[in-house]
Structure 1
Amino acid sequence: MLKRSHLIAVCLIASIIGGPTLSFAKARGSAGGFSSGAHGGNSSMGIGSRGSRTHQDNGAKPIEQSTTPQPSTTPPPNAAGTPPVHPAPATSPSWWQRNPLLAGIAGGLAGTWIGHMLFGATETSAKTTDVEPGAASNSASNSVGLILLLMLIGAGGLYYFKKGRQSPAPVFTGLSRGSAGRGSLLDISSNSTDRPTTDTAYTVTTEDKAAFQQLLTEIQSAWSAQDIAALRRLLTPEMLSYFSTALAEDNSRGVQNHVEGVELLKGDVREAWTEDNKDYATVDLRWSARDYTVSTTIPRGESGYLIEGSEETATESHEIWTFMRVRDGRWLLSAIQQ
């Protein structure tokens, strides 16, 4: 039982220590550097930064290792698809509440009329035998006049009641872009918030294309020679850290990757833009080169010296490189995608 617990502890420590190394090795291939030749074709992620477009889908492998933070996917409040919350509209007071005096008068008249209907008729019938015919007719006329007066008052009250029942004024509290209809003053196109509009299109010139081709050749040469000083002049600081770490790992394993005889076969500019004071260009590159990895501990000609690839046969590679420069400065490699 004690040995088993020791074994589990050793496995946990190894996984913690080896985790970052394994993830970085996956980013750059199985045996060597960052080219996509014999050893780099199995790369499964992109590295580097593309400014505000670092994590946007451009048709290539997404950039998963970058110093540029990935934007949050949590939708903002009142975003499209989220039902807005509106406060309940205030209810207007009724006619009876707005006119208490008239309501009291109407109630008194109604009570008088009901009392007369209940008790007046009985009293009149009781006195008909003792009262003269003219007096009886006068009493009936007075009752009819009272009834007509009450009906007029009731009709007037009903008219004012209906007139006072108007629709309450619309409540605009909480109205947002998501609830605004087309054509209203609050209708603002959602496209303006989909992506920051601080970047503008950039036109790649012939001189830029020549600089991209030259960078492809010089970066592969500096990589093959393990020349950190030369790479520092060709890469952004972030990309230089990835290259330096990869070279250190190769030295630790006793291997060295070479990419020689680089010949550009085709280069297509996918997108180019300017943001802040920087220009960016993402270029689809396809080239041929002799891409091979050798052992630094085994002499040339002995078994095991050539680890991967061929020193004589060229192979084709295909990658998507993003170049960056400060305005009017030199182009540098800032990202690589498969």
Structure 2
Amino acid sequence: MIVSQRARALLKTLVVILSVAMPLTLTVTAADARVGGGFSSGSRGSRTFAPPPTTRTAPNAAQPMQRTITPNTTAPVNTANRGGFFNRGGLLGGLAAGFLGAGLFGMLFGNGLFGGLGGLSSILGLVIQLALIYFVVRLAMSWWANRNAPSYANNAPPPNPNAGQSYARTGFGFGAGSGSAPLEITPADYEVFERRLNEVQEAWSNEDMNRLHAIATPEMVSYMSQDLASNSSRGVINKVTNVKLLQGDLAEAWREGSTDYATVAMHFSLVDKTMERSSGRMIEGSDTPQEVTEIWTFVRRPGADWELSAIQQTS
């Protein structure tokens, strides 16, 4: 009996750990090691939560910001959605609350964490249920994100149907953009954008914080600093080399007060490798170049040059 009780306690602990760790593990391993970590991060002024227009280079919509200091004032306030993950309305909230309730009641009545769900008695059964719950919740979260996606665009300025659709070459890897943007972007600006693409990757690879501060906003530097600290704690260093812009075009450009913004789609190749600090041994990535499409936003304040202010992934 004592052995059985100890086994049950260990099993409950294992299940709780797996239920929390499995989604986090999948999320981390899916992220890229390069600058930005595969996330959408930064700020685009008043358009931070308005998706930039699609372009020939990036025909798929940009993902909403996952890391930003800009408060979201575009989404309608709904008090029913406050209070955390399990208080969300609709399908997602119902599933999450149902899983949690069933698990808690199962533990209280000695049936195991998933006893309330009519669970299996074996560890294999528990793992299978965990996997099923994970994928159901992922589907529910996707449904929830799609349901709320229009809230980002409701208060966004009307998209320019011609944005990014004119492709006269600038000589710097970019198409010339629409030419009808509120803010004129010149060939010299495109030259800076392409140069920033290489400079940011180089400074990231060298962990050169002083250089990053010179070419990116404090917000973006803070995210890159966090990611570099995470690499350091793991005993690894990420090296991004052979960066080459393959295609790019302007999504939109605008002015807010005295501050200029330009969002450009960039399709580029790079070699992305993560090395063990102590030995220099490659543990992630490849020597084979890979191609990436991202949406980069740059900001220019009076008397200053363009700085990187956001990186967004494409869907």
Deviation for aligned residue 1:7? 8.3
1:50 to 44, 47, 51: 44
Q: Deviations over 1:233-291 (max 9, x none)?
A: 11111111100000000011111111112111111010000012211100001112222
In the alignment, what sits opposite 1:85? none
In the alignment, what sits opposite 1:232? 213
Structure 1 segment 121-140 matched on structure 2, within 5 A: none
In the alignment, what sits opposite 1:306? 282
Deviation for aligned residue 1:13? 9.7
Say if 1:293 and 1:308, in contact at 8 Å, map to a contact too: yes
2:249 to 258, 268, 279: 268
TM-aligned CA distance change 1:8 to 1:226, over 3 Å: farther
Deviation for aligned residue 1:53? 0.4
1:73 maps to a residue whose letter is P
TM-aligned CA distance change 1:208 to 1:335, over 3 Å: same
In the alignment, what sits opposite 1:285? 266
1:217 aligns with 2:198: yes
Distance 2:308 2:205 in 1: 17
Deviation for aligned residue 1:31? 5.6
In the alignment, what sits opposite 2:186? 205
TM-aligned CA distance change 1:314 to 1:9, over 3 Å: closer
2:275 to 289, 294, 298: 294
Say if 2:34 and 2:272, in contact at 8 Å, map to a contact too: no
Distance 2:157 2:203 in 1: 36
TM-aligned CA distance change 1:325 to 1:307, over 3 Å: same
2:300 to 315, 325, 331: 325
Deviation for aligned residue 1:33? 2.7
1:66 aligns with 2:68: yes
Structure 1 segment 57-136 matched on structure 2, within 5 A: 57-58=51-52, 59-71=61-73, 72-74=75-77
1:49 maps to a residue whose letter is S
Distance 1:203 1:51 in 2: 18
Q: Deviations over 1:119-173 (max 9, x none)?
A: xxxxxxxxxxxxxxxxxxxxxxxxxxxxxxxxxxxxxxxxxxxxxxxxxxxxxxx
Distance 1:26 1:286 in 2: 24
Unaligned runs of 5+ in 2: 53-60, 79-153, 159-180
TM-aligned CA distance change 1:9 to 1:236, over 3 Å: farther
Distance 2:272 2:251 in 1: 26
TM-aligned CA distance change 1:7 to 1:333, over 3 Å: farther
In the alignment, what sits opposite 2:56? none
Unaligned runs of 5+ in 1: 76-192
1:259 maps to a residue whose letter is V
Q: Deviations over 1:109-128 (max 9, x none)?
A: xxxxxxxxxxxxxxxxxxxx
SS of equivalent residue, structure 2 residue 195: helix
After the TM superposition, which parts of structure 1 deviate over 4 Å for at least 4 consecutive aligned residues? 1-16, 25-29, 193-197
Q: Deviations over 1:26-76 (max 9, x none)?
A: 5895362326xxxx6xx3x4111000000012221111221001124149x
Distance 1:28 1:202 in 2: 39
TM-aligned CA distance change 1:281 to 1:15, over 3 Å: farther
Distance 2:65 2:29 in 1: 12
Say if 1:324 and 1:333, in contact at 8 Å, map to a contact too: yes
Identical aligned pairs, as a percentage?
Answer: 40
SS of equivalent residue, structure 2 residue 284: strand
In the alignment, what sits opposite 1:30? 31
Distance 2:220 2:28 in 1: 13
Q: Deviations over 1:172-225 (max 9, x none)?
A: xxxxxxxxxxxxxxxxxxxxx94589xx92111111111111111110000111
TM-aligned CA distance change 1:239 to 1:14, over 3 Å: farther
TM-score in terms of structure 1 length? 0.52
